[in-house]
Structure 1
Amino acid sequence: MLNTLRQNPWVSVAFCCLMQAFTTGIGSYGFALFVVPWMQEFAVERSAMMLAITGASLVAMIISPVCGWLLDRFDNKILIIASLSIFIGALVSIAVAPNYQLVIVLFVLLIPVGLVLAGPLMAYSLAARKITQRRGMAMGVTALGSSIGGLIMPFVISGLLTSFSWRSTFLVLAVIGVVLVILPALILLGAERPPKKEPDSVSPGLVNKPSIFMLGFCFMVPAMLFVGVLHNLGAFAMDIGVSQGRVAFIISSSSVTMAIGKLSAGYLSDRLNHVLIYLSLVFIMAIAMVLLALSDSIVRLILGVGLLALVMGGVAPLIANMISRHWPLESFGRVMGIVQAAAGISGLGPLMAAMIRDTSGGYPAAFMWMAALLPPAALCFIWVAARNSQPVGEAAPAGG
């Protein structure tokens, strides 16, 4: 029975959802809920605490190509367990940190390991290699993990913060990670070795192609706008008189919209032109940024964040499926790692938005400046699609 489960590729996809729900739910979606408690305890400005998430994003950017290289060469189960252990160790360490400087350092240096090796990069890599048919849909299902985390973890964290200090909350989250994530990894996952490289199947200099970096820019722009809003949401809501409890509701609600975007884009990417899908997503995101810039109540805030989440949900599986179709499968980890590294620049979004707010007195100017990146991203995607119009041959995945 256990061996049958381990051999079923969709079991790995299900675990990837669980894994991402934990790491992304805490490291990304949950961050906004800790900003205000940190500001109050350490008596620092919001822009100082945004250094944590910005630094973590930049470190994730730096290590993503290396992690992609590891995915293409080593047992992925070992990498998953090791990275989850580091992530949980970071939660415990942050809980006992005596000052905000150490909180930032720990968040920057340790959290990204879990976000990369136990996050979307690992999840997309396993899905691409194990699922042969309906790969776009598999990417969409795999990507649901972060949406599940966005739906559940804000409520979990918000509930814990009403009963415990933020330090105790981090300790409880660490225990949850051991019981609900590491133990299932040990039980459900078999050896997850990457496919063998076919002779001459990967051309020299493949990972240096300009189109990969351009694709990274196409991923980075929506991500920058999304995380720029997401990680400032608690502070932005405070500015316009929306309670922190409603912030948790907005974040969790947006994860539902993101899930719709992931499944829809995954399904459509198997059937429609990728350029058409991406341009539609860019247009929707532009509308979302205008709504947010005009927000003075919870209604526009919900609509704006919801549309941003819809787009961000759709972009990730769309680009992952595009990579699996147009680059050799045995190099998927490296290519996706470079794309995610380029997207890691999005970590500047929260800091940029916070700094503009602190100097201008409001967030609308920051949102509109960031939205100006959308047209160049659309042009880049058109260029990449034109340069990589023919699918390549691919190694056979393990099953599906």
Structure 2
Amino acid sequence: MYYGWNIVGVGMVFQAISFGFTIYIFTFWAEAWMTEFNVGRTQITATFMIFNVAMGLVSPIAGRILDAFSIRVLIISGATCLTVGFLLISFANAMWQIITVYATLISVGSVLAGPLAAQTLAAKWFSARRGLAIGWGSTGTSIGGLLMPPFAIYLLLNLGWRQAHQVIAFLIVLIIVPLVWKIIRNTPQEKGVEPEAPARFEPTQESGGQAVQWTTIKVLRSRNFWIPIIAFLPALAAFSTVQANLSLITADIGISQQKTALLMSIIAGSMIVGKLFFGGMADRWDQRLLYWIAASIMGFGILLLMSQPNYTLMVFISVLLGLAAGGFLPLLGAIVGGRFGPEAFGQVFGLLGPFLTLSAFAPMLGGWLRDTTGSYDSIFQIILVALIPAMVSMAFMKRQAPATQASG
């Protein structure tokens, strides 16, 4: 078996831990923190928004260093940041301290030991099957979404939130550090194995056979950089709005919290299917077509949400949203890898971060519109309108150019 699949497997593990213990379980601490620190929902949701914005701001720097330095050292550094961050939170005596930790250590750790690192590794280790590798690797975050919430609830109910954070801190360093140090290497050459055969299309060569050197200025001048932002930003905003407000959306239509928790699991499970399908097909089909399929599924799901659905229909909507959202991450990775090449993957993907992080403001806008108008229909209408130019923009994405074949 090609050693690159070991890299993908470890990537799934550290993503499941880093995102599973941050993105997917954050909401479970809310009630305990509101009681402990006498704060309202606004400060809790602001903490999560600041965390997402901070990750977006860190991404460009992280992308550059992931391309330039030892990725396994950087992943271990990220895991260390997460461990220290969770330990500090366990001793917090004010909400501002938790906000500060999430804005610094937790955000940096989640970026260095998260999807950016895993996708950069997949791009460097795979060529012909890059989309498939990115698709499999990106399931790690969804696996974390399936496994970590019930574990976090168990810790919270039996140990309390402070000791729960200490246990999580211990598990992060215990699992990630030895596994990453043993398995992860930047490239096949560093491991001393033969790299995968080149893809049919390889964008790192110009027409004269000269390798492309993607400086930051050159990346920012490329339309292949800006079109994914235009295309994916409304789609990511749509999913984050539903994900962050799901319990409130279902409460409005009379669905219990227990049934809502099942809907979240259905979304996470469907995301795994979406990541595998769209990631695998990204090596075979036109990636623009795959984007149009995913965006259309997302739009249809949002449209159904505006129809006051019953629980059976909400299950169907959850499947649609999960399939579509699951496709976005591997598609974005395949688009970047296929047009900028593996050498610049971390740099380009990192530069996308601050722009795509703008989607983090959509859930707060949705909540405000709900409080103002009494319905989520306004934010859903805005999203549906924004998806139209987003889908049109993808038609202007340049297709991959044939690779320059090496002699012999």
Tell me if TM exceeds 0.5.
yes
Greater CA drift, 100-109 or 58-67: 100-109
Q: Which residue of 1 aligns with 2:366?
A: 353
**Residue 280, structure 1, aligned to residue 275, structure 2:** no
Larger radius of gyration: 2
The C-alpha deviation readout for 1:304-338, integer Å capped at 9, x for no partner, is 33322211110111121121111132111111112
Query: Counterparts in 2 of 1:160-171, with a 5 A limit?
Result: 160-171=155-166
Q: Which residue of 1 aligns with 2:399?
A: 389
Greater CA drift, 362-371 or 122-131: 362-371
SS of equivalent residue, structure 1 residue 107 = helix
In 2: Cα distance, 1:70 partner to 1:193 partner: 19
**Residue 333, structure 1, aligned to residue 321, structure 2:** no
Q: Which residue of 1 aligns with 2:18?
A: 23
The offset of 1:60, in angstroms, is 1.4
The offset of 1:43, in angstroms, is 4.2
Query: Counterparts in 2 of 1:190-229, with a 5 A limit?
Result: 190=185, 200-202=211-213, 205-211=217-223, 212-229=225-242
The offset of 1:54, in angstroms, is 1.2
The C-alpha deviation readout for 1:212-268, integer Å capped at 9, x for no partner, is 133123232222221222122344444544444444332222111001101110111
Q: Which residue of 1 aligns with 2:151?
A: 156
SS of equivalent residue, structure 1 residue 97 = coil
In 2: Cα distance, 1:71 partner to 1:190 partner: 12
1:140 to 130, 135, 140: 135
The C-alpha deviation readout for 1:311-370, integer Å capped at 9, x for no partner, is 111011112112111113211111111223321111112222222233334434333333
Kept in 1, the 8 Å contact 2:71–2:185? The answer is no
The C-alpha deviation readout for 1:33-64, integer Å capped at 9, x for no partner, is 33343344444443331111211121111111
Kept in 2, the 8 Å contact 1:155–1:252? The answer is no
**Residue 37, structure 1, aligned to residue 47, structure 2:** no
The C-alpha deviation readout for 1:199-222, integer Å capped at 9, x for no partner, is 752155322124213312323222
- Alpha-carbon RMSD: 2.7
Q: Which residue of 2 aligns with 1:52?
A: 47
SS of equivalent residue, structure 1 residue 29 = coil
Counterpart AA for 2:107: P
Kept in 2, the 8 Å contact 1:35–1:234? The answer is no
In 2: Cα distance, 1:88 partner to 1:307 partner: 35
SS of equivalent residue, structure 1 residue 72 = helix
Counterpart AA for 2:285: L
**Residue 95, structure 1, aligned to residue 90, structure 2:** yes
The C-alpha deviation readout for 1:366-391, integer Å capped at 9, x for no partner, is 333333321121122222x2xx2233
Query: Counterparts in 2 of 1:247-258, with a 5 A limit?
Result: 247-258=260-271
Q: Which residue of 2 aligns with 1:78?
A: 73
In 1: Cα distance, 2:186 partner to 2:324 partner: 34
Q: Which residue of 1 aligns with 2:274?
A: 261
SS of equivalent residue, structure 1 residue 146 = helix
2:388 to 366, 375, 379: 375
Query: Normalised by the size of structure 2, how large is the TM-score?
Result: 0.86
SS of equivalent residue, structure 1 residue 27 = coil
Identity of aligned residues (%): 28
Structure 1 residues 51 and 194: alpha-carbon distance in aligned structure 2, compared to 1, 3 A threshold: farther
Kept in 2, the 8 Å contact 1:219–1:339? The answer is no
Kept in 2, the 8 Å contact 1:71–1:333? The answer is yes
Kept in 2, the 8 Å contact 1:16–1:142? The answer is yes
2:7 to 8, 12, 32: 12
Q: Which residue of 2 aligns with 1:322?
A: 335
Counterpart AA for 2:344: S
Counterpart AA for 1:206: K
The offset of 1:10, in angstroms, is 1.1
Q: Which residue of 2 aligns with 1:126?
A: 121
In 2: Cα distance, 1:26 partner to 1:306 partner: 23
The offset of 1:271, in angstroms, is 1.4
Uncovered stretches (5+) of structure 2, i.e. residues with no partner: 191-203
The C-alpha deviation readout for 1:152-207, integer Å capped at 9, x for no partner, is 11222233333232333222221221222223223333466999x99752155322
The offset of 1:123, in angstroms, is 0.8
Greater CA drift, 32-41 or 51-60: 32-41
In 2: Cα distance, 1:194 partner to 1:365 partner: 53
Structure 1 residues 107 and 237: alpha-carbon distance in aligned structure 2, compared to 1, 3 A threshold: farther
Kept in 1, the 8 Å contact 2:57–2:353? The answer is no
SS of equivalent residue, structure 1 residue 110 = helix
In 1: Cα distance, 2:326 partner to 2:42 partner: 27
The offset of 1:22, in angstroms, is 0.8
Kept in 1, the 8 Å contact 2:274–2:327? The answer is yes
2:284 to 263, 271, 283: 271
Counterpart AA for 2:213: V
Counterpart AA for 2:385: A
Counterpart AA for 2:274: G
Structure 1 residues 394 and 357: alpha-carbon distance in aligned structure 2, compared to 1, 3 A threshold: farther
In 2: Cα distance, 1:201 partner to 1:219 partner: 25
Aligned residue pairs: how many? 387
Q: Which residue of 2 aligns with 1:292?
A: 305
The offset of 1:108, in angstroms, is 2.2
Counterpart AA for 2:73: I
Greater CA drift, 366-375 or 296-305: 296-305
Greater CA drift, 205-214 or 373-382: 205-214
The offset of 1:277, in angstroms, is 1.2
